[in-house]
Amino acid sequence: MSEEQSRREQDLVDRVVRSFDGCPDPRLRYLVQALVRHLHAYLREVRLTEAEWEKAIAFLTDAGHITDDKRQEFILLSDVLGASMQTIAVNNQAYADATEATVFGPFFVEDSPRIEWGGDIANGAEGEPCWVEGRVTDTDGSPVAGARIEVWEADEAGFYDVQYDDDRTAARAHLLSDEEGRYAFWAITPTPYPIPHDGPVGRMLAAVGRSPMRASHLHFMVSAPGLRRLVTHIFVHGDELLDSDSVFGVKDSLVKHFEKCEPHDPTPDGRTLEGRQWSRVRFDIVLAPAGASEGNRGHSVTM
């Protein structure tokens, strides 16, 4: 590239960056100026053609058109680019033996049904019964009593309740840990399913030869006063999708052994399973203190 060409390109970057110099919110100024620098570096590195720029605009326009209060294509895009997981990594910094966080996903619903110790979250969702138990502690090992544990998952057909059009509530609930921090419930053994791939993000995955499948998982959100809220999943040891999860959510520490049990094996709470196979898993949850090395969490911008 000629010196003159390079000077013209750099001059534009400098002028655009300077246009934000007067931004009164220093954080917003930093964010937009860094964005401009990185965006222009990308455009210059890949030598983006005008036809490619038009395709990119059409892609974002399609993402906007398919997005509504139920479908969020921009979060899905962030997920498949690993941007959601990178933001989670930055904001949930490693702290002692605190349980690792992973992606939230679009299928959490407020006001899930409350269940008691040993209750069943399935509420009619099809799938192999799975006993889930563990303890919630802080990083000193002290039990956390009364932690609110939200759990949600897809059924064995790969769909969350909110993906059916009959207003059902199934395979989701919340419960509280007991005085010793213990919790236990029946769920269904997680099975793999695809992220929504009938829109522009799905077309992008197909174009680049990537699968929309997520590794089998069970979602958790655990909160307790004075402790960092944890949004995470557990994954199934041996699942062949662990290395190719479409949203990069898998962390080794979250892969758990789901023990296969026979119909005649005694269940932990005496439940009879009428000839069905079932599974069981243990997930001990360690919560970091609130505010523990959370990077910029809580920092926002005025816009």
Contact positions toward Fe ion, by CB under 5 A? 105
User: Which of 201, 281 has the CB closer to ligand BEZ?
Assistant: 201
CA atoms within 13 A on the CB side of 104: 16
Q: Compute, in degrees rounded to 10, the torsion defined by CA atoms 98, 102, 104, 110.
A: -20
Closest to ligand BEZ by CB, 80 or 122: 80
- Which listed option, ligand BEZ, Fe ion, none, makes contact with residue 119 (CB within 5 to 8 Å by class)? none
Q: Which is nearer to ligand BEZ, 31 or 75 (CB)?
A: 75
Name which of ligand BEZ, Fe ion, none residue 289 binds, using a CB cut-off of 5 to 8 Å depending on partner kind: none
- Residue 199 beta carbon to ligand BEZ: minimum distance, rounded to whole angstroms: 12
Rounded CA Rg of the chain: 23
121 binds, among ligand BEZ, Fe ion, none (CB under 5 to 8 A by kind): none
DSSP letters, 89-117, are HHHS---TTPPPP----S---SSPPB--T
Q: How near is the Cβ of 120 to ligand BEZ at its closest, in Å?
A: 21
Is the Cβ of residue 80 or residue 149 nearer to ligand BEZ in the bound state? 80
Q: Does 155 bind ligand BEZ (CB under 6 A)?
A: no
Of Fe ion, ligand BEZ, none, which one does residue 79 interact with (CB within 5 to 8 Å by kind)?
Answer: ligand BEZ
- Contact track, ligand BEZ, 93-132, x by CB under 6 A: ----------x-xxx-------------------------
Of 105 and 129, nearer to Fe ion (C-beta) is 105
Contacts (CB under 6 A) with ligand BEZ, residues 168-207: 195
**Given the complex with ligand BEZ, which of 36 and 76 has the nearer CB atom?**
76
Tell me which residues touch ligand BEZ (CB under 6 A). Answer: 76, 79, 103, 105-107, 195, 214, 247
